[in-house]
C-alpha cells in the first residue's frame, strides 16, 4: 500500500514538472549531446590542445577541428596561445560557453519557477527551500 505522503508528493512533483519543464522552442538553440559532452569535458579538464581533446573524446582530429571551429564561431569556445609553448593553441570555454553549458543542464524553466515563487511571501519561499533541502538530504540517506 502506498503511503499517502508519498502519493501526494509524487502528484505534486509531476504537476511541478508539467508546469515548469524547460522547453526549447527553437531546437537549433539546444546544445547537441555531442556538443554538451565536449563542453562538459573542457569544463572538467580545463583548457586542452586540439590533439588532447581529440584523444579524450575519441574523435578524428579533422572532425574535432570542424566541431571546434563551429563552436568558436558561435562564441562558445576560444583558442588561446599556450603560455608554455606559443606554437600550440589551447581550446577553452568562453563565458558564453560556460553559461550555455549550465543552462543546458536545467530541467525546469527558472523564469517560471521565479514567477511562481514571487507569489509566495519571502518567509514561505525560504521555508519551502529549507524543507525541500531537508527532504533531499533524507532521500540521499535512504537510497540503497
Q: What is the set of domains in the chain, with CATH numbers? A: 17-108 (1.10.10.10), 110-144 (no CATH)
Torsion of the alpha carbons at 94, 95, 97 and 102, rounded to the nearest 10: 150
- Rounded mean pLDDT of 122-138? 94
- Of 101, 102, 104, which is closest to residue 77 (Cα–Cα)? 101
Q: What is the pLDDT of residues 20-48, one digit of tens each?
A: 998 766 556 678 888 899 999 999 998 99
Q: In which residue are the cell numbers 517560471 written?
A: 112
Label residue 82 by pLDDT band (50, 70, 90).
Answer: confident
Q: In the prediction, which pLDDT does 29 show? A: 66
* The C-alpha cell that represents 36 in the structure block: 554538451
- Rounded mean pLDDT of 103-126? 92
Amino acid at each position: 500500500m502506498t503511503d499517502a505522503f508519498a502519493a501526494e508528493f509524487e502528484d505534486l512533483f509531476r504537476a511541478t514538472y508539467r508546469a515548469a519543464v524547460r522547453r526549447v522552442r527553437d531546437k537549433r538553440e539546444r546544445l547537441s549531446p555531442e556538443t554538451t559532452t565536449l563542453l562538459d569535458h573542457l569544463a572538467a579538464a580545463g583548457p586542452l590542445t586540439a590533439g588532447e581533446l581529440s584523444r579524450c573524446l575519441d574523435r578524428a582530429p579533422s572532425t574535432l577541428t570542424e566541431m571546434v571551429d563551429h563552436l568558436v564561431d558561435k562564441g562558445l569556445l576560444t583558442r588561446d596561445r599556450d603560455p608554455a609553448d606559443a606554437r600550440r593553441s589551447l581550446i577553452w570555454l568562453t563565458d558564453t560557453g560556460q553559461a550555455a553549458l549550465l543552462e543546458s543542464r536545467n530541467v525546469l524553466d527558472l523564469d517560471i519557477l521565479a514567477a511562481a515563487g514571487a507569489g509566495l511571501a519571502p518567509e514561505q519561499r525560504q521555508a519551502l527551500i529549507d524543507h525541500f533541502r531537508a527532504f533531499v538530504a533524507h532521500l540521499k540517506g535512504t537510497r540503497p
